Amino acid sequence: MMSVVLPCYNRSALLARAIDSALGQGGYASQVIVVDDGSTDNTKEVCARYGSHIEYIWQANAGPSMARNVGVNYARNPWVAFLDSDDYWTSSHLARIAKAIDETRGEACFYFSDMQMGEGNNCTKLWQMINFVPPRPVHLTRNGTNWVFLAQQPTMLQCSVFRRDAWKESGGLDPRFHLRHDTELFCRLGIEGKICAVSGVGCVRTEDDISDVRLTTAVHPSTAAHWEETIMMWRSLLRRFPNLPPKYRRIARFHLASAHWRLIRTYWSSRKLSRSIWHLPMVGWVDPLFALSLLAHRRSDANRPAVFPEYE
C-alpha cells in the first residue's frame, strides 16, 4: 500500500480529476493526502465532497516543496507517491510500481515511470523525447548518476514513488528551490543511489491550467530568479558530491558556468550592470572551457559535454 501526496494551490477546477485518478488505482493508494497550500478559491469545498476517502491538510502558503514535505510527514505507508493537481495518473500506474517494488525487493530509493506530454493518442512521451530506453520493463540501476545527469532527466515527481525513509533521511525537497526542487532531489538521491525505471506511462501532463500559478510561469527561464536558482542548485550538488566521476563533474561545472553567463545577459538587458559584471569572472573560474568557447566560437554551447543513457 502507498500514501499519495497531492499539493494544491488555487486549482479547485482541476483538483477533482487528480483526486479521482489517485482513488482509481485499484486500492494501491490506501491514503490520499491533499495539502492545500493556502488556496483562496474553493479547494476546501472540493475536498470536502470526498469525505473520509481523502485527508485534507491546510497550511499557509509556503510553496510546493514545503507542501510535499508536509504531506510526507502525514504519510502512514512506507512508500509515497506524488501527483500534481493539474495532472492525472493512468489507472495502472501504482499497480505497475508496486509490482516493480516487489520484483526488486524494494531496493531502490525511488521508482519512476514515463510521462505522457499532453492528452490524446498522438502525444509524445518523455522517454521517447530524450531517447531513454531501458532494456527491461523493470530496470534497477545500482548507481543512478548517469540517469540524473542526462540532458533532460527521465524522472518526474508526478511519475515517481519514493521510499518514505529515504525521503526523510535526505531531508526531502529543499524549500529554497521553487522550480529546480525536483531536479535537485533526483540528483541528491540518484547520484550513487539505487533507482528503478518502470516501463509504461504513469502520468498524463495536461495543458489545461491557464492560471498564473504554474511554477514555469513564476520562475521562467527568461527570469533572473531561474538562473540564480540554477546556480544555487549546481553549487550545492558539487559541494555535496566532491568525488563525482570527472565526466559528470564536468557537466555540473558547465551548467554552473552557463547559468552565470545567462545571468550576465539577463542583468545586462535589464540595465542592472553591476550585477551583470559581478558574474563575469565567475564564468571563467567555474569552467575555463566554457569561457574559451565563448571567446573562440562566440557560442556558449560549443563545448557542451554530452552524456548518453547507460544501462547496467
Q: What is the pLDDT of residue 189?
A: 98
pLDDT digits (tens, 9 = 90+) for 6-34: 999 999 999 999 999 999 999 999 999 99
Q: What is the pTM of this model?
A: 0.93
The residues facing 32 across adjacent strands are 4
pLDDT digits (tens, 9 = 90+) for 188-224: 999 999 999 999 999 999 987 655 555 444 556 778 9
- Identity of the amino acid at 195: I
Residues of the chain with pLDDT under 70: 209-220, 297-303
Interatomic CA distance for residues 310 and 312, integer angstroms = 7
Interatomic CA distance for residues 47 and 91, integer angstroms = 21
Q: What is the pLDDT of residue 219?
A: 53
Compute the CA torsion angle 6, 9, 13, 18 (nearest 10 deg): -10
Contact (CB, 8 A) for 86 and 78: no
Q: What is the pLDDT of residue 216?
A: 46
Interatomic CA distance for residues 49 and 53, integer angstroms = 9
Alpha helices (H) in 49-144, listed in sequence order = 64-74, 93-103, 126-130
Q: What is the pLDDT of residue 42?
A: 96
User: How many other C-beta atoms lie within 10 A of the C-beta of residue 163?
Assistant: 20
Domains of the chain: 2-210 (3.90.550.10), 220-297 (no CATH)
Contact (CB, 8 A) for 162 and 169: no
Q: Find the length of the chain.
A: 312
Q: What is the pLDDT of residue 243?
A: 95
